[in-house]
Amino acid sequence: MKTTDTPPAGIAEDRPQVVKTTIPPARKKKTEGGVLNVFSHGVLVIWAIMVVLPLLWAVMTSFKTDKAIFTSPWSLPDSLHFENWSRAWSQAHMSDYFLNTVLVVGGSLVGTLLFGSMAAYVLARFDFPGNRFIYFLFIGGMSFPIMLALVPLFYVLNNVALLNTLHGLILVYIAYSLPFTVFFLTAFFRTLPSSVAEAALIDGASHTRTFFQVMLPMAKPGLISVAIFNFLGQWNQYMLPTVLNTDPEKKVLSQGLVELAVSQGYKGDWSGLFAGLVMAMLPVLAAYIIFQRQVVAGLTAGALK
Partner 1 sequence: MQHGKYRFIVGFLAAPLALYAIFVIWPFIQSIYYSFTDWTGLSPDFKMVGFDNYSRMLDDDIFWKSLQHSLWFALLLPLVTLGLALFFAFMLNVGGRRRKGAAIAGVRGSSFYKIAYFFPQVLSIAIVALLFQFAYNPNEGAINGALQAVGLDSIQPGWLGDPDLALWCVMAVLVWSTVGFFVVLFSAGMASIPRDFYEAALLDGANRFTTFFRITLPLLWDTVQSGWVYMGILALGAESFAVVQIMTVGPGGPDYSTTVLTLYVYQTAFRDGQAAYATTIGVALLVVTLAFAAVVMRLGRRERLEF
Q: What is the footprint of partner 1 within residues 124-163 (CB under 8 A)?
A: 126, 128, 134, 137-138, 141-156
How many angstroms separate the CA atoms of 305 and 302, rounded?
5
Site track 61-90 with partner 1 (rule: CB under 8 A), x = hit: --------xx--xx----------------
How many angstroms separate the CA atoms of 208 and 188, rounded?
18
CB of 41 to partner 1, least distance (A): 6
Would you give the distance in Å from CA 255 to the centre of its chain? Answer: 16
CB of 23 to partner 1, least distance (A): 13
Q: Using CB under 8 A, which of 164, 165, 242, 294 touches partner 1?
A: 242
Is-contact 66 268, C-beta < 8 A? yes
**Count of residues engaged in binding partner 1, rule: CB under 8 A:** 104
Helices (H), the chain: 2-5, 7-14, 24-61, 66-71, 83-90, 94-125, 131-140, 146-159, 166-191, 195-202, 207-210, 216-218, 220-235, 239-244, 253-267, 270-290, 292-304
**Per CB under 8 A, 46 contacts partner 1:** no
**Per CB under 8 A, 295 contacts partner 1:** yes
Window contacting partner 1 (CB under 8 A); options: 14-22, 84-92, 183-191, 217-225:
14-22
**Per CB under 8 A, 110 contacts partner 1:** no
Is the CB of 81 or the CB of 157 nearer to partner 1? 157
In whole angstroms, how far apart are CA 155 and each of 131, 147, 171, 244, 255?
31, 13, 15, 9, 20
Is the CB of 32 or the CB of 78 nearer to partner 1? 32
